[in-house]
A and B are shown apart, each in its own frame.
Chain A
Amino acid sequence: MCRPPVAEEGAGANPFGPLAAQWMDSWRAMASAAAGASENWSSSMLPFIMRRAAESGFGVGPGNDLAEAIERMAKGPRLADVLDFDRKLANMTAAWGELQSKLAAYQLVASKPWMRTAQQYKMKMPQSGDSPSWREQLGEWNDLANEELIANQRSEEFLVAQKQLLQAATEFRARQSEISDAIAAVLGMPTQRDFDDLTRQITELRREVRALERRIAGGEA
């Protein structure tokens, strides 16, 4: 299994490094398993059938479908909805875990230039004679750090880490939206998707009206 880089062995090594790496591995495995389970659930027909079965009272009812449907519309969520909501929550939790994992990986890459800056700064520090003010020292530090940070940002390692962080953050946001959409649907409120559909229709309608206006104006001219 892929492990994050561990601090060098020896006197300066972080004693918690291997432990942290082990923890990260276990944590990732759990998050991955959770994500896999929820993905399997959502891509299967099981939630669909569960909902359908729940709607029919799992075959144990008086057969009064219309009355039940009306009652269900009034009462809101039932067992299948709760299961589906649980699944969405699990998805969101898995996405949150993945986001934290990618954030940790990103921060590891983003921390490297600071270490290089510290090394360079130590080498550049005046040994004797000079007595620069703290502002001059800070200026020196800033210049070195700026160069290192900019160089790091252009590295493949940084670009990959930030891309994966962005992907994880977007995924988490998408899973959050699933939850809010589910709540909105239960409460009979428009969802984000409904809003997007509506604005799309308005935008397209506006384009058609304006094209028509131009055609008419062109014809009149």
Chain B
Amino acid sequence: MSPQAPTGDGFAEMSDKLLKAGKLLSAIKDADVDVGATPKTLVMRRDKVELFRYTPLTEQKVKTPVLLAYGLIGRYTMADLQEDRSLVRSLLRQGLDLWLVDWGQPNRSERWLTIDDYVDDYIHAAVERVCRETGHEKIMLLGICEGGVFTTCYAALHPDKVKGLVLTITPIDFHADRDDPDTHHGFLNVWTRSLDRADIDRLVDVYGGLPGEFMSSVFSLMTPMRSLTKYNIDLIDVIDDEAKLMNFLRMEKWLADRPAHPGEAAKQWLKDLYQDNKLVKGEFELSGRRVDLSKLTAPVLNVFALNDHIIPPTCSRALGAHVGTKDYSEIELPGGHVGLFVSSKSQGSLSKGISEWLSARD
């Protein structure tokens, strides 16, 4: 018997669903797909960077304020995608005093900003403001991905301001992808190393930054078939389920919200870190000072995803061998880079792990 031909009832059903998808999507307004909607108050603006304080959802249980910093590739809304899939909301429900530093929408105007500016100016100003507002001398930092690198550098350079450091999906050893046996992991590392340094300079000089859509295409390459089937098979699969459809649309909205990475900072990110791996070598310098990971004396919690194809877990786990503190813990969770924050499975374990660790060090 031959396999069932891909024609007939199956495709008729698909056609119907496609029509239905078209009608549904035309009825859903942009405002209906709200991401990053957890209430917060603007406390400070510095250039395009904004500092927010989240409105508490319950009685405060952890006294020390926690400042959340995302990277410059993508936006913080990944941590607050929707009400039932939001690390931000989960942490607020655990009684944290949560703050957010939002980099805004950098464009060519931010071409000359360096990681030095982000760490030693914007994060430093945010930390000082949080301290001033809350009366604390030190605060906790929660870094995500590239934001984890920024907060790591900050904690190493300003130990007097940091009570504890929580990192999630953060690359530290940018060459440790070679130790990861999974060939689905680490394409970003391989790809970046394949570029000439002059290519990176030229790219940034011509575009004035690392274009967001360009990075999106690199990310799409990492899950090639998923990217190809997303707007046909995947969309059709969720079209009958309003909740799943809205999840899909929110994720798409987050993916599309990808500002350009500021130019000079992108050169540092790709050349100094991805290519030269200066952070673990102790050669990375910010504002004329060497970032020495052994100066990380505050307690550190390092959370990574075991199936992270963007930041291989080996790249994150490497931190343990370099920190100066003895209070170093790891939480390894199933799932991928984005799934860690948006999947229903990881919601409880991620926020619970972080809040328990913070409570114990409050």
Contact = CB atoms under 8 A, between A and B. Distances in A.
B199 interface: yes
Interface of B: 1-7, 10-11, 47, 108-113, 117, 121, 183-184, 187, 190-191, 194-196, 199, 202-203, 206-208, 221-226, 229, 233
Nearest to A149: B224
A133 B194 CA distance: 41
Given A131-B1, A134-B4, A170-B206, A199 B224 contact: no
Report whether over half of chain A's contact residues are helix, strand or loop; otherwise say mixed: helix
Contacts of A138: 6, 233
Interface stretch (A14-22, A59-67, A204-212): A204-212
16 contacts: A130-B1, A131-B2, A137-B4, A138-B233, A149-B224, A150-B224, A153-B191, A154-B183, A162-B191, A163-B194, A163-B199, A167-B199, A170-B207, A174-B202, A174-B206, A207-B121
Given A129-B1, A149-B224, A196 B111 contact: yes
Nearest to B113: A203
A125 interface: yes
A120 interface: no
A162 B191 CA distance: 9
Interface string A108-131: 000000000000000001101111
A134 B208 CA distance: 47
B199 A166 contact: yes
A195 B108 contact: yes
Interface residues of A, number: 42
A130 B221 contact: no
A160 B184 CA distance: 19
A207 B202 contact: no
Contacts, number: 97
A173 B47 contact: no
Nearest to A166: B199
A57 to B, nearest CB: 37
A188 interface: no
Interface string A191-217: 010011001100110110010000000
A186 interface: no
A150 B184 contact: yes
Contacts of B1: 128-131
A146 interface: yes
The 6 closest A-B pairs by CB, nearest first: A134-B6, A159-B194, A149-B224, A203-B112, A146-B225, A142-B225
A217 to B, nearest CB: 10
